[in-house]
Amino acid sequence: MSLIESAAWVELQSHAYYMSQSHISTFFKEDTQRFEKLTFEQKDLLLDLSKQHVTPETIKLLIQLADERSLAQWIESLFGGEHVNNSEDRPALHTALRTPDTQKLLINGKDIINEVHANLDQMDKIVERIHSGEWRGFTGHPIDTVVNIGVGGSDLGPLMACKALTENQSEPAKKINVHFVSSMDGSQLSELLSQLNPARTLFVISSKSFTTIDTLANAQTAKEWLKQSSQSTNEDILVARHFIGVSANPSKVTEWGIPEEHQLQFWDWTGGRYSMWSTIGLPIALKLGMRGFKELLDGAHSMDEHFRHTPFQNNLPVLLAMTGIWNINFLNINAHAILPYDGRLSHIPAYLEQLEMESNGKSVTRDGQAVNYKTCPILWGEVGTNAQHAFYQLLHQGTESVMCDFIVAARRYHTTNNPELQHQHQLNLANCLAQSRILALGDSVLDGAENSPAHKRYKGNQPCTTLMLDELTPFTFGQLIALYEHKVFVQSVIWEINPFDQWGVELGKTVATSMMNALAPNNEDHEFDSSTNGLLSRIAEKST
């Protein structure tokens, strides 16, 4: 039976018609225990769904849909190493990357948990060499700056985590400056190199395939900068002292010139957007120290265990995912705003854009059939207090329905004696709670609002989720990111799509490679569409 013909789907459609007649604010008036009924916890993370356009009956029906689509079996398949990535015929074992070494998981006769921890041990040794000052550049001075060169999952996850957890650095880690370069045009790298000391700079080239043109172009520029700065004629020694390669394709790393002892590996069953838990997380370990990195893994593993073993009615990833299904497929909401009320989480919207839209931005099922229902919505976001001065006007008074995730830490600056910082945190919390309240409930919560002119009214009824961390730490950050990973998987099961491939990004890269010939000087032997031909002519004209 197809998804939209299933009994639970049909019942949810009827329920949606009934629910659409009510405003979120009425649910609070009718049930004083609404917060208690629709709030869920997993250790230091709280999920509040009470400002969503749902009732406990909605949750019950959504769980019936999850049961109908065999979600429990799919979860076991994911954790058990079955080939849930069917288009590439391999498992998706990012959960294994944060599994303790006391456990085992045999894949093709190999204990991959043992292999994971062997790689972590190798990464630990590299981190210790750099933090201790033992790793030295071409002049013999210790390395004090690390530049991660990567793109997509090799950049967004580590960049996000380093920004989020800066306040959790170990003392040795504070000696190391960590930078990130991803742009193909060289603008980031060019600006950064002008500020760095080549003798004390180490480059980490992070690429699953080690064939990504964006990354290799930046790496080659960095190598040339070092050669010119050092005036060295021995490229092998220069690369050995100033480059580390992180890849699932070690032969390509060796071919590029990086010696085996300066390589870190991961596996083809680790998707790029799920790879920050692997040795791709080297910049995180350098920024925090290995202890902080392992706390991050522990937080993610804690959410893994919760996801795998908790009944769906109390399972945070399942509830977050199924509420999204409700909004997208039954309330016809196709826009999703990510609103962290914490400047340290400024990169989480970009990370989730990739995680969700690259995973579930699909229109073909696992069986190769075109879907006849909506899948992943458009995601975007910004730090909440900045977004208030940017696009909240649309959220409050525009014509689009938008589901909103508010992410905030309950506690911050509690160990400082600076009352002004503590006041700023209270101000931030006040804005977070106020905005989610008005977006969901509208101005009905204010006395006399009905007398305001139309252009000052706030209709509300925008469904809002609040994710509240007790405090932002490596552990709770790991919980949060793993929560979203599992949310994506749950939705993919309901939609019958593969969240672990990304064929939609491949053709553009192939065509771009062929376009390089057309951009060569004096090359007029090409024939594209009239727009591309015109733009190529313009480029040639302005480049002479």
Catalytic residues: 358, 389, 509
| Maximum Cα interatomic distance, the chain, rounded to a whole number of Å | 79
Q: Which two tokens stand for residue 323?
A: 């509420």
CB within 8 Å of 484: residues ≥ 6 apart? 320, 352, 355, 356
Q: Which two tokens stand for residue 438?
A: 């008005």
Q: Which two tokens stand for residue 43?
A: 């250790």
CB within 8 Å of 216: residues ≥ 6 apart? 205, 207, 210, 256
Among 277, 220, 265, smallest CA distance to 243 is for: 220
Bridge partners (DSSP) of residue 339 are 406
Dihedrals phi, psi of 143, to nearest 5 degrees: -70, 135
Q: Looking at beta carbons, which pairs linking 186-195 to residues 24 or more positions away fall under 8 Å? A: 186/217, 186/218, 186/221, 189/149, 189/218, 189/221, 189/222, 190/221, 192/147, 193/222, 193/225
Q: Which two tokens stand for residue 336?
A: 């999703």
The DSSP line for 306-348 is HHHHS-GGG-HHHHHHHHHHIIIIIS---EEEEEESSGGGTTH
Give the containing element (helix H, strand E) for 406. strand 403-411
